[in-house]
Amino acid sequence: MRPSITLSADLARQHELIDAAIAVNEAPTLHEAFQVLAEAGIALLGAERLTVVVWSADLKSGVIRAAAGPAIGSIGIAVPADVHTIGALLTGEPYVGPPILEGLPPEVLEDADSIATVVRVPFVAESVRATFHASWHRVLDESESDEAAELLRTLTRLTTLAERSLREREQQDFGSVLDGVADGVVLSSPSGVVLNGAAQRILAISDPGTFNIADHNPRDLDGAPYEITPGIPGHEAIEKGGEGERFRIRAVSLEGRELVLDGTFSPVGGTGAAIVFRDVTDEHRENVLNRQTLEAVFDAMPTAISVADPATHRLVTVNPAFSELVGRPVDEILGLAPPFPWWEPGEDLASGFVVGSRLERVYRLPDGRPQPVQISVHAVPGEDGEPALLLALIEDTTEERRMQQQLVQSGKLAAIGELAAGVAHEINNPLFAILGLTEFLLKEAEPGSKALQRLELIQQTGLEIKEIVRALLDFARENAEDRHVVPLEEVVQATVDLVRRTNAHKGVELVDVYDASAAPVSASPNQLKQIFLNLIANARQAMPNGGTVKVDVRQDGNWVFASVTDDGPGIEPAILERIFEPFFTTKRLTGGTGLGLSVSLGIAEAHGGSLTAASEPGRGSTFTLRLPISAEEVAA
């Protein structure tokens, strides 16, 4: 005879329920708690079989997670839902009646055809929906069915206690894990917000229950308000598209400390969010200081620097020295890719970006003037060791070239000086004999005779030759590097006299004017003579059919000006712009080198002055040398 399933209040039944409650409470997982209840329930109910099915969110299918009796082999098998099951889950009311066998898998159908009564009781919790199924081979009367349903409800209540106990344990375990994380963690869900210990320390929060993100004034690094995530008190929901987001923001701790936080936001389940962050305030401050220092050094470097992308060679940044070197503002330079507008036509696009290379080039300024440079290319490696940026150091070699050209010219002048000295000595020997013999002949000639007149002419010519030789020797003996205080007027006058004596002014009228100031300059007289010889020679060559060359020296404040003016055909504007360029000449076919004016400009600038040109086509040209008055004279 089968045992009665009438629920009695006898002590044995109470002990079995207490034992089941204890076992459920100790179960490490909810599924294991289901199994404990299935085994306890089949004994308490006197049922043939008992299963616990956990259903999907859409209630279309379920999986047998626990079983007792002959059904124990069906654990893990998927089963379809029927209308009675769905009704029980939606209404919370149990189902009592015959089983519905349609759609059940073969493993579950074994001996199911002999089942007469099934009692189904729903269990609905926050994280799971399940049904308890108890079945008998016989038909239960109404009282038995009610007692069976009530006992199953008791089991589900034990399940609720187990689920709550497990959740509390999981939260405790999860909280321990979170508190072991060095980064701050904020978890939000409809049920509330959880902060780990690191988040509370960073934000100086003593009571996590009062957490409100607006209290921390989140802002981006530029100071604009920044919304991190929906679902956190103090923020309106913003659409995140279900994807994570990385951020670096400014915030304030509840103690008033300014923070920089670096972290990530990740939506959770569509209704919650997880934020993981760390305090990078000191790191950010150090990075900003380092960046500002590097930017200051970069901008202050006198050497021109450009930084380019290694793949596209597009310019990422340049310093002010580079902008000045190429004569273009920075905003017109950034983003440019080869060929650059300052390159000469036909430049090799890749040659200027070879790491470790060093090459000479000539840039072209916006006004067409050349700018000689030397370029050295270096790589800035990335994390993988491959070049992340290309760094080019560009040096202006104008002065170096000018000095080289001046050395060449000075060498030529030195050779000419030595040659002039040798020629002068060779001339002096026969000239001495000519003048000596002329002196004797003059004593013997009759006064007033034509012979006397001719001898006096010979003597006068010989003395002029002697003076020319003396001037050449003086010019050759002067040291080009020997600087001393000398009136500029004297230097100019000596140069003009030399030109006149050597007949270098043939065909032109040479006029020199002085303001009698005798303005002193600290200079190398020989180098200044070189300037005026070049200027007078150019003026004479500009007037092959004759004309006038005027040399004017005057003082104006702490400066002295010496100008050389001709009344020749003048200079075209396009030529005037390039007239001081090294090796630029319009007289290539007649032996011009294009170094005279370039060297003269270098001498003027080396003396702290300047050399400028002014001209109008058809109205002559004027070259003006400006030099500072000697510091000794100014101090006096």
User: For the segment 521-551, what is each residue's pLDDT rounded down to a tens digit?
Assistant: 998 887 888 888 888 888 888 888 888 899 9
Least confident of 46-55, 65-74, 173-182, 445-454: 173-182
pTM of the model: 0.41
Structural class in CATH, domain 11-170: alpha beta
Least Cα distance to 305 among 290, 291, 325 occurs for 325
For residues 233 and 244, give the distance between their C-alpha atoms in angstroms, rounded to a whole number.
19
How is domain 301-389 classified at the architecture level of CATH?
Answer: 2-Layer Sandwich (3.30)
For residues 535 and 549, give the distance between their C-alpha atoms in angstroms, rounded to a whole number.
10
According to the CATH classification, is domain 184-284 in 3.40.190.10?
no
Report helix, strand or coil for 607.
Answer: coil
The answer to whether 23 touches 41, Cβ cutoff 8 Å, is no
* Rounded percentage of the chain residues whose pLDDT exceeds 70: 78
Q: For residue 591, what pLDDT band results from cuts at 50, 70 and 90? A: very low
* Rounded percentage of the chain residues whose pLDDT exceeds 90: 9
Whether 12 shows a pLDDT value over 60: the answer reads: no
Q: For residue 175, what pLDDT band results from cuts at 50, 70 and 90? A: low
In this prediction, residue 240 carries a pLDDT of 39
Q: For residue 435, what pLDDT band results from cuts at 50, 70 and 90? A: confident
In this prediction, residue 531 carries a pLDDT of 87
Whether 230 shows a pLDDT value over 60: the answer reads: no
Query: Bigger pLDDT: 1 or 631?
Result: 631
Query: Bigger pLDDT: 271 or 276?
Result: 276
**In the numeric block, which tokens belong to residue 60?**
């279309």
For residues 224 and 281, give the distance between their C-alpha atoms in angstroms, rounded to a whole number.
18
CA distances from 35 to 29, 68, 267, 499 (A): 10, 8, 34, 123
Query: Bigger pLDDT: 440 or 55?
Result: 55
Across the strands, what pairs with 625?
Answer: 562, 611
Whether 120 shows a pLDDT value over 50: the answer reads: yes
Topology of the domain covering 480-635: Heat Shock Protein 90 (3.30.565)
The answer to whether 254 touches 215, Cβ cutoff 8 Å, is yes
In this prediction, residue 85 carries a pLDDT of 83
Whether 101 shows a pLDDT value over 70: the answer reads: yes
pLDDT tens figures, 203-218: 888 887 788 888 888 8
**In the numeric block, which tokens belong to residue 98?**
């015959």
Q: For residue 7, what pLDDT band results from cuts at 50, 70 and 90? A: very low
In this prediction, residue 374 carries a pLDDT of 87
| Beta-carbon count within 10 A of 21 CB | 19
Whether 39 shows a pLDDT value over 80: the answer reads: yes
Q: What is the DSSP letter of 380?
A: E
The alpha-helical segments, DSSP class H, found in 242-389 are 281-300, 320-326, 330-333
On the question of a cis peptide bond just before residue 339, with omega within 30 degrees of 0, the verdict is yes
In this prediction, residue 111 carries a pLDDT of 61
Whether 192 shows a pLDDT value over 80: the answer reads: no
Residue 602 phi, psi (nearest 5): -60, -40
In this prediction, residue 177 carries a pLDDT of 52
Whether 182 shows a pLDDT value over 80: the answer reads: no
Whether 474 shows a pLDDT value over 80: the answer reads: no
Query: Bigger pLDDT: 360 or 5?
Result: 360
For residues 238 and 273, give the distance between their C-alpha atoms in angstroms, rounded to a whole number.
12
Whether 118 shows a pLDDT value over 50: the answer reads: yes
Q: What is the DSSP string of 161-225?
A: HHHHHHHHHHHHHHHHHHHT-SSEEEEEETTEEEE-HHHHHHHT-S-GGG--GGGG--B-TTS-B
